[in-house]
Structure 1
């Protein structure tokens, strides 16, 4: 047996080993019990029988409890755990297991669906903590270490797995799809293997500091193919701070509406990059600072703004009370303004309900809360479990733009469709954080 101080043994203890030793004790396995609803028609797809007898034999809704697994990591001795929102979505029961086999019940303190971050709380003290690093100071090519519990349901012990790779790219923008609804911005790309069950676990640098939350992979077969993505820890840390201090992620409001530059506008601006201010809200920090409609935003803090994705990525990480430096081009001169992010003014708006979906008109509050681009349509604020809307895959924060190709600009249009009851195959066009998706379902009543 080799001595721990032997030359060979010492050479084996590299940066990856030391980083894993530093973080692994605080990496948790998360077991979630969820209730899922399934609907079935008694007509077995026979349209003729369905048309004549659907009023006498309504569809059945089945409820089933299912278990899912993910990872997380402890960020304070008091038992706060960071993970992905999708890991604990719809959870009725959450159990967190530490590598030393201690098991705790946990509750969701709060979450940010748009960022896909959730904060859990265990009732315990004196727990191991994963040190947090600085995701704004990463270098492409440096070591990246993924720690988590892949395929946890097949393993009988809670020891986390460690895989290593490098930072492959930074500031990746990933558009939502019908399978994953979040609009991931500024993601860290790595070739460190991330497999099912790793979601929510830490991505760590060679110094043993968490730099990201392992979130998802691009894959054809379900396993790791060397293209994984992590949420930057600086963004997740801000969310955690908001949730601990306020119990929710308050929408930060600058009082600006902006738009992407069209080719014609870009030509008028001298082929500059940026976003054009289209509205400055009365009484806002933007108005008080001196910003005007028609200013071209070219930089926010130290980040150059190339277009709407950069603007939204920057603003999604701004917290209420933060100072924000906005650099604009006005009449071929550069000006810099300092704004203070304020809590978004929440205004009451009428609601309407159909297909198990509760909707409202878009308001500044909802646009900030859900990071919306669209100003038309109705925003989904609630989805009833087991409803037609949930079956179709509609999510809170979606903007409904049309029903069966009939345009919906506001809540009046949405309510007008209720005067013409729709049965059978239906399709919704929704805007999910900048990407348009068609969702379909069969309405039985």
Structure 2
């Protein structure tokens, strides 16, 4: 009875109902989710349910045939669209949050969010999550995106067991994007990186000796030029992993060894209440227009439909 969808589809819903292909309807229990990865798990009490087979998204290649199932516009139930994988490792920004995505040409519309992306063998290789309908002042077509299943499969199991992603990497800082104005104000020699506004007592950052006023410039040799890049890079780590941070402090660069902590359970799905909240949310803007399933009926996993009680 476990069903996977996007966090943005069910995260703010008061009630969730699941309708099967045969018309049977069930009240669903929200098990948990993670906003950073836009995944969520719900559960219905039923037997003899159909299920899907998870594939290997790492084996998907550009040009491979893909299929998406969804409920576009909230009324075209159980629609399938086809296309190819345009890119298998595309970095995009959705409402200020960076994601690694599979880019596809299959038609994706509001209501497809949370639905499966199948490979040519009928295995789920992604969770349909977003599309671009415009960029700046230009209209665009054929730019749909799905979360690679390999990126989140272990997290889905974690949510099923614990109700949240228990090993999600956590620093315990209040970060912001370093810029030229800040550099002039604080008389720093660097204009890029992640400025630390505060450090949470007892956190991984605190234990590693990071301080307010430090600027994170690299993590394990990878440049970190902005808060958004820190968020994206953090997704590659789990609690307990060790990293070498290159920081700017007192006019010079130095290296600090950091052991990533775990996100506290009460903060696991609420980014705005975490100490990792950005103090500089406007440093990077998203020029794309995002269309997901929030506000529409959505077909999230194989042949299931979600209907939101708080939306009539």
Normalising by structure 2, report the TM-score.
0.66
Instruction: Using the TM superposition, give the Cα deviation of residue 308 of structure 1 relative to its aligned residue in structure 2, in angstroms.
Output: 0.9
Instruction: Indicate whether 1:325 and 2:243 are aligned.
Output: yes
Distance 2:274 2:92 in 1: 22
Contact 2:4 2:39 in 1 (8 A): yes
Instruction: Using the TM superposition, give the Cα deviation of residue 299 of structure 1 relative to its aligned residue in structure 2, in angstroms.
Output: 3.4
Distance 1:154 1:345 in 2: 38
The partner residue of 1:174 within 91, 94, 116 is 94
Distance 1:188 1:329 in 2: 32
Instruction: Using the TM superposition, give the Cα deviation of residue 329 of structure 1 relative to its aligned residue in structure 2, in angstroms.
Output: 3.4
1:218-248 per-position Cα deviation (integer Å, ceiling 9, x unaligned): 337xx99212222343554354233212223
> For residue 302 of structure 2, what is the aligned residue in structure 1?
none
Instruction: Using the TM superposition, give the Cα deviation of residue 291 of structure 1 relative to its aligned residue in structure 2, in angstroms.
Output: 3.2
Distance 1:224 1:332 in 2: 45
Alpha carbons of structure 1 residues 189 and 270: separation in structure 2 relative to 1, 3 Å: farther
Segments of 5+ residues of structure 1 without an aligned counterpart are 1-78, 177-182, 348-363, 376-430, 437-445
Distance 2:242 2:92 in 1: 23
1:357-402 per-position Cα deviation (integer Å, ceiling 9, x unaligned): xxxxxxx995328x63249xxxxxxxxxxxxxxxxxxxxxxxxxxx
Instruction: Using the TM superposition, give the Cα deviation of residue 200 of structure 1 relative to its aligned residue in structure 2, in angstroms.
Output: 1.0
Q: Which has the larger radius of gyration?
A: 1
> For residue 274 of structure 2, what is the aligned residue in structure 1?
368
SS at match of 1:226: coil
Segments of 5+ residues of structure 2 without an aligned counterpart are 287-312
5 Å matches for 1:99-118?
Answer: 101=22, 103=24, 105=26, 106-113=28-35, 115-118=37-40
Contact 2:91 2:98 in 1 (8 A): no
Instruction: Indicate whether 1:199 and 2:199 are aligned.
Output: no
Contact 1:276 1:295 in 2 (8 A): yes
Distance 2:118 2:220 in 1: 26
> For residue 15 of structure 2, what is the aligned residue in structure 1?
92
> For residue 133 of structure 1, what is the aligned residue in structure 2?
56
> For residue 204 of structure 2, what is the aligned residue in structure 1?
285
The partner residue of 2:171 within 231, 254, 271 is 254
Contact 2:176 2:279 in 1 (8 A): no
Normalising by structure 1, report the TM-score.
0.49
Distance 1:201 1:365 in 2: 24
Give the CA RMSD over aligned residues.
4.3
Alpha carbons of structure 1 residues 311 and 211: separation in structure 2 relative to 1, 3 Å: farther
1:19-39 per-position Cα deviation (integer Å, ceiling 9, x unaligned): xxxxxxxxxxxxxxxxxxxxx
Instruction: Indicate whether 1:82 and 2:4 are aligned.
Output: yes
> For residue 415 of structure 1, what is the aligned residue in structure 2?
none
The partner residue of 2:147 within 231, 238, 253 is 231
Alpha carbons of structure 1 residues 329 and 93: separation in structure 2 relative to 1, 3 Å: closer
